Each structure stands twice: as C-alpha cells, then as structure tokens.
Amino acid sequence: MEKDASKQYASVGEGPSVNYAKMEQSARTHRKVLSAVTYVLLALWAVIVLFPFYWMVLTSVKSYSAYNSEYIPQFFTLSPTLQNYVDAFTSVPLGRYFVNTIVFTVLTTAIMVVVITLAAFAFARLEFRGRNIAFLLFLSLMMIPNELVIITNFVTITNLGMRNTFQGLILPSVTSVFYIYLLKENFEQVPDSLYKAAKVDGTSDMKYLLKVLVPISRPTLITVTILKVIECWNSYVWPRLITDDENYYLVSNGIQEIRENGFGRENIPAMMAAVVVISLPLIVLFLIFHKKIMAGVSRGGTKG
C-alpha cells in the first residue's frame, strides 16, 4: 500500500513538469514553423523584387541576334557578351551624360544642404515674430502636387532665360520642405540650455550651428545628402522639360535619346546595357550607406 501511494504521489508530482515540458516543446515547434514561414515569404519577396534587376543584367549580356532568336524567354545564357556595354559608350555620348549628371548632382546637393541647414536652424532656434505660422505655411507646401510646382518653375525659368543651362536645372531643386522639417526636428533634440550657455559665452549663432548642431546632427545630414544624390541622379521630368539640347542631358533623360538616336527601338540588349551602367552607381551607393540612411531617418523622426 505504501509503495502504491508513493507511486501515486510521484505521478502527481511529475504531472505539472511533464505538461510544462510539452508546452515548452510545442512553443519551440511553433516558433520554428513561424520562423520557417517568415523566411520563405521573405525569400519569395526577395526573388520578386530582385528578378527585374537579374533580367536586366541578363538581357544586357545577350547578343542582339541571340535575344531576337528566343521564341521562349531564357533565364540564362551560355554565350554572354560585353559588346552591348561597348556600344553604350560609343553609339551615344553616354560619358557626357554622366559628367552632366555628376555636375548637376554635386552642385544641387551642396547648395541644398547649405539652404536646408540654415532654414532648419532658423525655425528650430531663432526667435522671430510669426515663426510657427511661417513654418506651418511652409509645411503646407508639401500638399501641393509636384505637377503644379513644375509648371510654375518652368514658366519662371523660361522667363529668366535659363532654359538649356545648368542654372535652370539646379535652381528649382535647391530646397526641400521635407528635409528642412527632418533637420529641424533633429536640431530641436539638442537642449535649449546648451544654446543659451553658448550665447552667454558670446558664441555667435553661426559658430554654434557649425560647431555644435552640425556635428551632433551629422547622421541626419549624411542621410539627407545621400537621399538627395539619389533623387538628383533619378531626376527625369524636370531635366526633360527644361532642356532640349543634348549637351545638357542627364543620364536619366538621356535614355530616351539613346533609344531614338543611338541603338534603335529594337535593340533591347543594348538599351539594357545602358540602363545597367546608369543604375550601377546608385546601387553601389545604397549598399555602402544603407545603414546610415536608416539610422539618420529613424534618428530624425525621434523626439526627446
């Protein structure tokens, strides 16, 4: 009887631990299944996103005859060629388009960084009448469609006689309401006591901006700079509208010139080679600085 009772008590004592072990094992299995499903969905999404880039590169290394002889699209090629890339630089002045784009991107980005830094500092630290109302009206400009702004800018630049000039390309792009807002929020994270202490010591506003706020906000400034470079490099509508001289074409709107006067509408492999060459700098730039972009955006959007 005593042995039977002891067995009964032992079984009762082991019951909760056994159930806990089963629950723990079930939870681990559930986590593994959930993790496996997540990775499968992410892999599927990666394939969907990256496939156009793969197809673009694959088409660019196919010869014109091989591409046209494919009744069924082939997902690989046994005879790749780089002749399309040679044609991209010899059939049209693609090198000139690159130089124009670099000049446009560097000047526009540099001027914009100066403008938005000064504007963000004024809205964040300087006290003047109507500051909040002015900033609110400034933010309301984000609600205006870009098409309306382009029309206004086109009329203004045309009346100033700046068509087919770098000035006409650059001036409408030297500011951004969103970047000013992002940088202003970043500046406001610095305590007011630091600014007041600097003023007591006789530090000028410009010196405080350059010596204190700019170093502290460097991640956001780097992010804004990279995003502006990408925006300028991909700019299409405004350069296409304001320039009809190929001496001022950028790589984005130069693609149309390549198609019409370079390779012809049927030479898709050569077109894809040009697109790969144009896209490669931005891809490399993003791969190098993607962490800084994410860190800067998240830091700029955090108060306190």
| 3-state DSSP of the chain | CHHHHHHHHHHHHHHHHHHHHHHHHHHHHHHHHHHHHHHHHHHHHHHHHHHHHHHHHHHHCCCHHHHHCCCCCCCCCCCCCCHHHHHHHHCCCHHHHHHHHHHHHHHHHHHHHHHHHHHHHHHHHCCCCCHHHHHHHHHHHHHCCHHHHHHHHHHHHHHCCCCCCHHHHHHHHCCCHHHHHHHHHHHCCCCHHHHHHHHHCCCCHHHHHHHHHHHHCHHHHHHHHHHHHHHHHHCCHHHHHHCCCHHHCCHHHHHHHHHHHHCCCCCHHHHHHHHHHHHHHHHHHHHHHHHHHHHHHHHHCCCC
Nearest to 120 by CA among 174, 173, 171, 182: 182
Given a contact cutoff of 8 angstroms between Cβ atoms, the answer to whether 257 and 246 are in contact is yes
Q: Distances in Å between the alpha carbon of 75 and those of 55, 71, 221?
A: 8, 13, 42
CATH fold label, 92-300: MetI-like fold (1.10.3720)
One digit per residue, the tens of pLDDT, for the chain of length 304 reads 445 544 554 454 455 666 767 777 777 888 888 888 999 999 999 889 889 888 888 988 888 788 877 777 778 777 888 888 887 777 778 888 889 999 999 999 999 999 999 999 988 888 888 888 888 888 888 888 777 888 888 989 999 988 889 999 999 889 888 899 989 888 888 887 888 888 787 778 888 888 888 888 888 888 889 889 988 988 888 888 888 888 888 887 777 776 666 565 667 888 888 888 888 888 888 888 777 767 655 555 444 4
Q: What is the largest CA-CA distance in the chain?
A: 110
Distance of CA 20 to the CA centre of its chain: 49
Report the sign of the C-alpha dihedral through residues 139, 142, 144, 146, in that order: positive
- Is there a contact between 280 and 53 (Cβ–Cβ < 8 Å)? no
Q: Are 266 and 259 in contact (CB under 8 A)?
A: no
pTM for the model = 0.76
Say what the pLDDT of residue 103 is: 92
Spatial CA neighbour of 104 closest among 235, 226, 221, 288: 235
At 140, list the tokens.
């309301």
User: Tell me, what's the pLDDT at 284?
Assistant: 85
Query: How many Å from the N-terminal Cα to the C-terminal Cα in the chain?
Result: 70
